[in-house]
Amino acid sequence: MSELISLNMGNLTATVDPMGAQLCSLKLNQNEYLWQGNPAFWSRRAPILFPIVGSLRNGRAESAQGPCTMGRHGIARNYEHSIENRDEFSVTFELASNKETLEAYPFRFTLKTTYSLVSERTLSQTFCVANDGSVPMPFCIGGHPAFNVPVPGAVDESFEDYVLKFEKPWSCMLPTIGEDGLMRRDELRECPAGADFVQIDHRCFDHDALVFSDVPERRLTLLGAKSNHGVQIDFPGFKYLGVWSAVNDAPFVALEPWTGHTTACDEGDVFEEKVGMTILQPGESDTRTFSITLL
């Protein structure tokens, strides 16, 4: 097991595991905001989703380079990422394609993930994906940080006291995700319906994640109505935001910026044609950043 990497600025501490380049702790004043992976609910904490978000139909799709065969959320979380650079307030990890990744995803890539403390309350996470091959490369990418709910320091608050707070009133039609992990875009419900918040409870996640698209200002705050404490996530450059918790009344909520989403029932199985795919030409790279602010 590789040594964990910790970054500190004032009272903010972020810790990252080179295995999967996964954020594994985010503390403010020694209070742990990040979900700690209790396997009774969900054993991960903040995996990187690449080169897919969600699932392929039957774990497989076809591409110009051959079959893509991988489980939910892709392959990046399954490998140790090397440390490319580190300074006082940031660390950059790198994962390059190899013989094993090419069997699952037949494209040559380099994925760099940088964690940076940008203030005494804010951590940014930046993905830089490069096409190292000689053919166009399709991919999606996303984050999956999960946070303790109630957040630390919240007194007499329960899960049901939390809201998803938006920057302004708006309406969004949310699709349904089935037990097979596929999206049903013909089964929609309006949420929010002209409001600037959604009151959450565990029933919200009976059908997997809430998948919002084009969130106003690309900002959402998970906020305790009594304590006024929570987590703000800013995700410019990401069209979608998944909000998820495990179905067994898990005491966490994941806030997940995505460039694409899980396979929809009404789309085909050509990898390049899936919704939200970014297509990188040979030698090109693509950079996306989201940030987490503890409130």
Asked if 251 and 236 count as a contact pair (C-beta separation under 8 A), the reply is no
Q: Which helix (H) or strand (E) holds 183?
A: strand 183-199
Write down the number of H helices and E strands in the chain.
1, 21
> Per the structure block, which two tokens stand in for 123?
């951590």
Q: Report the length, in residues, of the chain.
A: 295
Q: Which residue has the higher pLDDT, 2 or 258?
A: 258
The domains of the chain, with CATH numbers, are: 5-294 (2.70.98.10)
pTM over 0.85: yes
pLDDT tens per residue across span 131-161? 999 999 999 999 999 999 999 988 889 999 9
Rounded CA separation 23/4 (Å): 10
Q: Which pLDDT score, from 0 to 100, does residue 189 have? A: 85
pLDDT tens per residue across span 235-267? 999 999 999 999 889 999 999 999 999 999 999
The DSSP call for residue 102 is H
pLDDT (average), residues 97-120: 98
Is 271 a residue whose pLDDT tops 70? yes
Q: Which pLDDT score, from 0 to 100, does residue 193 have? A: 85
Q: Which pLDDT score, from 0 to 100, does residue 2 have? A: 79
Report the b/e string of 125-144 with b at 16+ CB within 10 A: bbbbbbbebeebbbbbbbbb
> Per the structure block, which two tokens stand in for 11?
């009272």
pLDDT band, residue 1 (cuts 50/70/90)? low
The DSSP call for residue 162 is E
- 17-21 contacts, C-beta under 8 A, 24 or more apart: 18/80, 18/81, 18/82, 18/83, 18/93, 19/79, 19/80, 19/81, 20/47, 20/48, 20/76, 20/77, 20/78, 20/79, 20/80, 20/81, 21/48, 21/76, 21/81, 21/93, 21/95, 21/113
> Per the structure block, which two tokens stand in for 68?
């893509």
